[in-house]
A and B are shown apart, each in its own frame.
Chain A
C-alpha cells in the first residue's frame, strides 16, 4: 500500500468509523455514498453513522460582506487541502475569487466560487465510471480510485468548479488524497465536516471579520443557514440549469 492510500484509508476509517472502513475503498465509498439514500426520515446524525440523507450540507455566501481583493478563503482552502496555490492554467483551484461588474449599473462585486454541490450534479451524470458521486448528505466528491482522468466532468460542470491534476503532486495532506491524472474539486472539507467541523474557507472568512459565508444543514429548519434563506433573497448560480445547488448567494440576482 503506498503512503497516500494508507493515509486515505485512515482518513476514511476515522471519518465514518464503521466496519466497512476495513474493506476495499471503492466498495466502501460506494456504501458510504449510498447510505441513507432510501431513508428520507429526518433524524439527528451521530458521528458513527455514514452520511445521512436527512442532512443537506450547504453554504450561503453574502456578496455584500465579501470584500474585494480579500483572498482569505482561497488561501485557507489551499492550506487545508495541500494545494500549491499557484495560478497557472494547469494548477488546481478549488475556490477562486471572481470579480464581477454589473453590465447595467457598473456596480462591482467580488464573490468566491467553488463546487456548488449540486443536488442534480451534471458531473455525476456524465462520469463514465461513477467516480464522481454525490453523498447522501449532498456533498459531491470524486473517488480518486476510480477516476480515470477523462475530464468529461469538467466539460459538464456549469461552474468550472473542477481541476485536473496536471503534474505529480507534492505536499499532500493526510486527510486529502490527491493524485496526478485525476480530477478534483472542493470537498466542502468533508474530512472536517464528518468530525463535526466547518469548512476552512468559512472559518477563515469569519476570522478575518467578514463573516460572508454561512455553512450548515439546509434541511434543518432551525439552522442559521435555513433561517437566512427563508428571510432574505438568495440565488443559485445559473438557476435556469436546474442543478439545485447547495451553495447559495445573497446579493446577486438569480
Chain B
C-alpha cells in the first residue's frame, strides 16, 4: 500500500489535493481553449514579443525537470548510497515537471491541434525538433529508470540506465539552452555561455523542486521528510547549485558588457528597462538567490523549514529570471540597421511593452498544476516514497 493511503486522514488529504490541482488544471485548459478560439490577440504576446508568460512557465518546468533527476544521478551514477532511497521520487519529479512544461508549450502553439504534424514532420536541422526527440527520449529513459529502481529483478540495470539518464539530461538541458543560444541575431541570446548557464540553473531549480516534492509528499504520508544528516547534505548541495547558477548569470552579463555593441542592451536589462531590472535584481538576485543562501547557510536559520522556504524562493526567482531573459530579451529591438536610428509602424528601433493577460498566466499555472497532479498520482500509485531512514513500515512515525 502506498504511504499516501496509509491512514484515512492521508487518504482524505490526497483526494482534496487531487481535486484542488484538477480544478486549477481545468481552469487552465479553459484558458487555453479561449486563447485558441480568439487567437493570440487576447494574450499580451504580439509580433515583437512572440514568446510570453506561457514560455516562462514552460521553460522553468522543463529546465527544472532535468535538474530534478540530479538526486537520482548522485545516487546511482556517483554511488552515493545515502541518496539512493530518494531516487524514485527524483525520477518521478522529472517526469511530472517535464510533462507540465510540455503541456504549456503545446497549448500555447498557434495550432495545438497540429501536434501530429509536429510528430511526423521533422526538420533535423532544427534544434527545436531535436528537443522534441530529447524530451520524448527522457520520458522513455525515466520510465525504464523508475522500473529498474522499483523492481528488484531489474536492479542490475539501475547503474546503466542511471548513467544514460544522466548523460541524456545534460544533453537535453544543453538543447533547451540552445533554443536561445542559436538566435544569433538577437543580442540577448547570442552567447556561448547559454548552455552551461542553463545546466547550472537546472541543477538549482531541479533540486529545489525535488526538495519541495519530498517534503510535501512525506508530510502528506505523515512521515519525517529528512533525517538530519541527509537534510544537511541536500541543503548544502542546493546552496552550491544556487551559487553556481549565480556565477553563470554573472559571467553571462559580464561577457555581454565586454562587447561594446551589447552595452546598450545590458543597460536596458540591468538598469533602465522597467520592469526588467527590478525583476532581475529584486526577484532573481535578492529573493531568488541571496535570501535562499541566507536561509540555507545561516547557522541559526538552517533547518528543513528554512530549506523548504529557500526552495520556494529559488523557484520564484527562477520565474523572475526567465521573465527577464525571455521577455526582456525580445522587448529589446533587433539591430537591423547598425549606425542608424530606426523607427517604423512595426516597432523598429523601439522597446516594446508586454503586459501578460490573465489567460496566459492561467495556462502557465496549469503547467504547475499538471506537474503537481502527476507527482501526486504517481506517488500514490507507485511505491515511491521511501523515508530517508529506510524504515520498516512499523517504524514509521507513530501517530
A residues sitting closer than 8 Å to B (CB atoms) are 26, 87-93, 96-104, 109, 113, 122, 124-131, 145-152, 154-160, 162-168, 180-183, 237-238, 241, 252-253
Instruction: Let me know if A147 and B111 touch, CB within 8 A.
Output: yes
Instruction: Let me know if A165 and B110 touch, CB within 8 A.
Output: yes
State the Cβ distance, A1 to closest chain B Cβ, in Å.
17
Pick 6 A–B contacts, CB within 8 A, sort by A: A126-B126, A146-B121, A148-B111, A158-B334, A165-B39, A238-B336
State the Cβ distance, B343 to closest chain A Cβ, in Å.
5
Instruction: Let me know if B126 and A182 touch, CB within 8 A.
Output: no
Chain A residues with CB under 8 Å of B1's CB are: none
User: Which listed residue (B51, B110, B184, B348) contacts A180, Cβ 8 A?
Assistant: B110
Q: How far is the CA of A113 from the CA of B342 in the complex (A)?
A: 12
Instruction: Let me know if B117 and A158 touch, CB within 8 A.
Output: no
Chain A residues with CB under 8 Å of B50's CB are: 151, 154-155, 164
Across the interface, name the chain A residue whose C-beta is closest to B37.
A168
State the Cβ distance, A5 to closest chain B Cβ, in Å.
14
Chain A residues with CB under 8 Å of B127's CB are: 126
Q: How far is the CA of A237 from the CA of B348 in the complex (A)?
A: 14
Known: A98-B348, A128-B129. A253 touches B339 (CB 8 A): yes
User: Which listed residue (A104, A122, A126, A160) contacts B348, Cβ 8 A?
Assistant: A160
Q: How far is the CA of A130 from the CA of B123 in the complex (A)?
A: 5
State the Cβ distance, A196 to closest chain B Cβ, in Å.
31
Chain A residues with CB under 8 Å of B186's CB are: 155
Q: Is B48 an interface residue (CB 8 A)?
A: yes
Sorted from nearest, which 3 A-B pairs have the closest CB atoms? A149-B110, A181-B110, A158-B185
State the Cβ distance, A24 to closest chain B Cβ, in Å.
12
Known: A90-B46, A90-B47, A158-B336. A125 touches B346 (CB 8 A): no
User: Which listed residue (A92, A145, A156, A168) contacts B185, Cβ 8 A?
Assistant: A156
Instruction: Let me know if A89 and B46 touch, CB within 8 A.
Output: yes
Chain A residues with CB under 8 Å of B128's CB are: 126-128, 150, 152
Known: A126-B128, A150-B109, A156-B182. A180 touches B39 (CB 8 A): yes
Chain B residues with CB under 8 Å of A96's CB are: 344-346, 348
Q: Is B399 an interface residue (CB 8 A)?
A: no
Chain B residues with CB under 8 Å of A181's CB are: 36, 39-40, 109-111
User: Which listed residue (B39, B51, B121, B346) contacts A129, Cβ 8 A?
Assistant: B121
In addition to A102-B339, A129-B129, A167-B41, 8 A-B residue pairs with Cβ atoms within 8 Å of each other are A88-B46, A124-B123, A125-B125, A148-B111, A150-B128, A156-B185, A158-B185, A180-B39
Across the interface, name the chain B residue whose C-beta is closest to A241.
B185
Across the interface, name the chain A residue whose C-beta is closest to B128.
A128
Instruction: Let me know if B126 and A166 touch, CB within 8 A.
Output: no
Known: A149-B109, A149-B111, A154-B50. A98 touches B337 (CB 8 A): yes
Instruction: Let me know if A97 and B345 touch, CB within 8 A.
Output: yes
Chain A residues with CB under 8 Å of B335's CB are: 238
Chain B residues with CB under 8 Å of A90's CB are: 40-41, 46-47
Known: A163-B47, A181-B110. A125 touches B126 (CB 8 A): yes
Q: How far is the CA of A164 from the CA of B40 in the complex (A)?
A: 9
Instruction: Let me know if A89 and B48 touch, CB within 8 A.
Output: yes
Most buried by A among B179, B186, B339: B339
Instruction: Let me know if B40 and A166 touch, CB within 8 A.
Output: yes
Q: How far is the CA of A162 from the CA of B342 in the complex (A)?
A: 18
Q: Is B340 an interface residue (CB 8 A)?
A: yes
Q: Mark B85-124, 1 if CB is under 8 A from A, else 0.
A: 0000000000000000000000001111011011001110
User: Which listed residue (B110, B129, B343) contacts A182, Cβ 8 A?
Assistant: B110
State the Cβ distance, A88 to closest chain B Cβ, in Å.
8
Chain B residues with CB under 8 Å of A150's CB are: 109-110, 128
Q: Is B330 an interface residue (CB 8 A)?
A: yes
Chain A residues with CB under 8 Å of B330's CB are: 155
Across the interface, name the chain A residue whose C-beta is closest to B105.
A150
Q: Is B300 an interface residue (CB 8 A)?
A: no
State the Cβ distance, B183 to closest chain A Cβ, in Å.
6
Chain B residues with CB under 8 Å of A146's CB are: 114, 117, 121
User: Which listed residue (B110, B115, B340, B341) contacts A164, Cβ 8 A?
Assistant: B110
Known: A130-B121, A180-B39, A241-B185. A100 touches B110 (CB 8 A): no
User: Which listed residue (A91, A122, A128) contacts B118, Cβ 8 A?
Assistant: A128
